[in-house]
Structure 1
Amino acid sequence: MNELTEFNARNDLDNELASTVSDILAKAIKEKGKASIAVSGGSTPKGFFSVLSQSDIDWSKVTITLADERWVPIDSEASNTRLVHENLLQNKAEKAKFFHLKQGDELTDETLEDLNVAASKILLPLDVLILGMGEDGHTASLFPCSDQITSGLDETNDAALLKVQPKTAPHQRISFTFASLMTSKNIFLHSCGEGKKTVLTQVLNGDDPFEMPIRAFLQHPSLNTQIFWAP
């Protein structure tokens, strides 16, 4: 299931999404003493990150991570870790903890196993998940072109994270699985631009998640994914 909210301007979306997420995190901190959020990369969330970073909550009790990451050096322009540090882990949010998905030079089986254990212990289930969407309908690094898409979308997959090698995009990736992300208490799809609105229409008019993996979230009967879109 999904619920679409359209905004007239990206600033309006950024402000509303930041306010909503801030309230959820504050409530989680009050109820259990901590909160967790996974965000997505790209240029779309920069404005949202900036607004959220100034929210007046106890950021020292918040752990931030990424829904996925490219296995590149952290100082690379392609690094989502760098993006988060430069745009979200600023201002009041500077006090938040960051769970690194990219650890070490090589994504070995041992590294992946260690990250799976740590993610399950520290992060899951997430209080907030902010997804993005590619032109091909991928979300996180669940690419329809990858050989890993079957395990990535498998609801019975016990692994929190998996290696992904997309065939239509550069860089090896590490991504949370659908099985782990679907346990998130609040799921949002943050999307901007007329091009993405066209993709979204295509997504909603079909039903095959292996063709467009974001459908796994938007059309799952037990999930309520909130779509925030602006031109």
Structure 2
Amino acid sequence: MSTNHLIERHVFNDLSSLSEALAKSAAITLRTAITQHGQASLVVPGGRTPTVYLPRLAQMNLPWQHVFVTLSDERWVESTSEQSNERLVREHFLQHMQQQPRFIPLKTKHAHPDQAVADLNTHLSRLPLPFSLIILGMGEDGHIASLFPGMTLDMNSANLCQPATPPAAPSLRISLSLRALINSSRIILVITGKEKRQLVDQLIASPDPAIPFVQLMQSRSVELFEMD
């Protein structure tokens, strides 16, 4: 199955210009959702690149109190850990806002992410669905959120999240499910680095259905914000 028709690609010379364009574009989407529905929902990722564009997004003039924010995935660590995506979002996004959105973290007090799925389904169902905007990154193996190549991604499951263990660096995680990610009005995938851009080109030319990135594109349209 060809996925080429599902992609809109925006290429930038540097991370600063990418961040500026991403923030402005995301703000338009969120403002439109608030105007139409009275509220909006935003999903953001962890990682290094978001520490650059999230502060810029936080500066956008929006009624953030009408926006629900959650994460695409989370490591099963305390929110004070340097490995915590929740900590990253609080430090690089929420702390830069004058008006606070309604933030829904993914880490719970359960010992194992398996035990948290039911509660997280309840928490996440409070967000306006479909999500107004999901911003994702992609790993060099084609994983998105914490959905890794070879994982069973059950599209028939009603769960909004699923536990995950990355093959390269085993650690407990929770991720929004593929079904949840697809249930979005708009998806932006941020791709930085030559290796990842080459992988995108390769997967467009020869889609591998075992790669979550490909499964996402085969299910709905995705916009790419890219730079080397």
TM-score by length of 2: 0.92
- Name the amino acid aligned to 1:118: H
Cα separation, partners in 2 of 1:170 and 1:156, compared to 1, 3 Å: same
Aligned to 2:130: 125
How far did 1:169 drift? 2.2
Query: How far, CA to CA, are the matches of 1:123 and 1:173 in structure 2?
Result: 24
Q: Which residue of 1 is the match for residue 193 of structure 2? A: 193
Match of 2:19 in 1: 14
User: Which of 40, 62, 85 in structure 2 is aligned with 1:35?
Assistant: 40
Do the aligned residues in 2 keep the contact of 1:44 with 1:191 (CA within 8 Å)? no
CA distance in 1, matches of 2:97, 2:217: 32
Any idea what SS the aligned residue of 2:184 has?
coil
Change (3 A) 1:109 1:46: closer
Residue 47 of structure 1 pairs with residue 52 of structure 2 = yes
Q: Is the 8 A contact 2:22 2:53 kept in 1?
A: yes
SS at match of 2:59: coil
Partner Cα separation in structure 2 for residue 3 and residue 9 of structure 1: 19
Question: Displacement, 1:108?
Answer: 5.4
Shift of 1:57: 0.5
Can you give the 5+ residue segments of structure 1 that lack an aligned partner in the other structure? none
Q: For residue 100 of structure 1, what is the aligned residue in structure 2? A: 105
Alpha-carbon distance in 2 for matches of 1:70, 1:124: 24
What's the offset of the Cα at 1:64?
0.8
Shift of 1:126: 0.7
Output the CA distance in 2 between the equivalents of 1:7 and 1:181: 25
The equivalent residue for 2:3 is: none
TM normalised by structure 1 equals 0.91
The Cα shift of 1:203 comes to 2.2
Query: CA 1:226–1:155 in structure 2 vs 1: closer, same or farther (change >3 Å)?
Result: same
CA RMSD of aligned residues (A): 1.6
- Secondary structure, in 3 states, of the residue corresponding to 2:158? coil
Number of the residue aligned with 1:61: 66
- Within a 5 Å distance, the mapping from 1:45-194 to structure 2 comes to 45-92=50-97, 95-107=100-112, 109-145=114-150, 149-150=151-152, 152=153, 154-194=154-194
Are the aligned partners of 1:10 and 1:230 in contact in 2 as well (CA < 8 Å)?
A: yes
Q: How many residue pairs end up in the alignment? A: 223
Structure 2: gaps of 5 or more residues: 1-5
Residue 202 of structure 1 pairs with residue 202 of structure 2: yes
CA contact (8 A) 1:160 1:177 kept: yes
